[in-house]
Amino acid sequence: MKPAGNASSMSELIAAKGVIFRATRSGEYLIDWHTAPRRQFVVNLTGEVEIEVSDGETRRFGPGSILLAEDTTGKGHISRGIGNDERRTLFIPLSD
């Protein structure tokens, strides 16, 4: 991120292929070990998710958080819905 004026900062342009919107029922959302289908940004719009990676580390991501998913090989990660709010997510597949 670099200063962009007007009290903001901005990244360089990142090439992307499109966008995917997804809605999931958080209380029922559990995906066991899996890899990301592609390198992509995952933007949480509403709801929360807990991600567990292969070394045992877990992190929670809530509204406004942005995750770069790039574990396209190996063991991958576990995704768990947290709470009862519907999770709305924006996926931005990256051009490689």
Q: What is the pLDDT of residues 32-43, one digit of tens each?
A: 999 999 999 999
Q: What is the 3-state secondary structure (H, E, C) of 24-77?
A: EEHHHCEEEEECCCCCEEEEEEECEEEEEECCCCEEEECCCCEEEECCCCCCCE
**The pTM is what?**
0.87
Q: What pLDDT was estimated at residue 95?
A: 83
Q: Distance between CA 76 and CA 53 in Å, rounded?
A: 7
26 pLDDT tier (thresholds 50, 70, 90) = confident
3-state secondary structure of 95: coil
Who's near 11: CB < 8 A, 6+ residues apart?
A: 1, 2
Instruction: Give the mean model confidence (pLDDT) for residues 9-16.
Output: 93
Q: Distance between CA 13 and CA 93 in Å, rounded?
A: 14
